[in-house]
């Protein structure tokens, strides 16, 4: 699986858009980009994923660059409940792809 690189921490004002970057320069053509978050020690919560097209769901938007070497998760109107550790993971779409978690980005939403 491709390694991903994320900033260690970020702050965002409540009500503003939170933009979380992720570099995955060694991603291969059969690897999806998944985003999860973890609030305290709860189980990782799935947010969104994509292969090459931009994606949007009720939680967030995912923007993937054309060369697929990086992506940005966008939380459009951050709330205090969005304070969490956010993980960007590249995982193959073949076989029982395991998820390899890094240290993620600790996002703090500031009132």
Evaluated on CA atoms 74, 30, 92, 4, the torsion sign reads negative
CB of 92 to other proteins, least distance (A): 9
Question: What distance in Å separates the CA atoms of residue 92 and residue 96, rounded to the nearest whole number?
Answer: 9
Give the one residue of 69, 102, 106, 108 binding other proteins; rule: CB under 8 A: 102
* Residue 50: other Cβ atoms inside 10 A: 18
For residues 83-98, b (16+ Cβ closer than 10 Å) or e, as one string?
A: bbbbbbbbbeeeeebe
Longest C-alpha distance within the chain, in Å? 43
The two three-digit tokens of residue 31, written as one number: 């690897």
Verify binding: residue 34, other proteins, rule CB under 8 A: yes
Part of the chain binding other proteins (CB under 8 A), chosen from 15-23, 33-41, 61-69, 75-83: 33-41
Part of the chain binding other proteins (CB under 8 A), chosen from 9-17, 28-36, 62-70, 72-80: 28-36
Part of the chain binding other proteins (CB under 8 A), chosen from 9-17, 21-29, 34-42, 67-75: 34-42
Give the one residue of 10, 19, 23, 38 binding other proteins; rule: CB under 8 A: 38
What secondary structure letter does DSSP report for 25? T
Residues at the contact surface with other proteins, assessed by CB under 8 A? 32, 34, 36, 38, 41-46, 49, 51, 87, 93-103
């Amino acid at each position: 699986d491709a390694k991903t690189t994320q900033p260690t921490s970020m702050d965002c004002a409540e009500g503003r858009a939170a933009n979380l970057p992720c570099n995955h320069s060694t991603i291969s053509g059969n690897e999806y980009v998944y985003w999860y978050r973890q609030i305290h020690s709860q189980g990782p919560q799935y947010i969104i994923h994509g292969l090459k097209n931009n994606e949007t769901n009720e939680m967030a938007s995912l923007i993937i660059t054309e060369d697929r070497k990086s992506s940005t998760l966008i939380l459009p109107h951050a709330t205090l409940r969005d304070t969490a550790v956010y993980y960007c993971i590249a995982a193959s779409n073949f076989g029982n792809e395991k998820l390899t978690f890094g240290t993620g980005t600790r996002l703090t939403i500031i009132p």
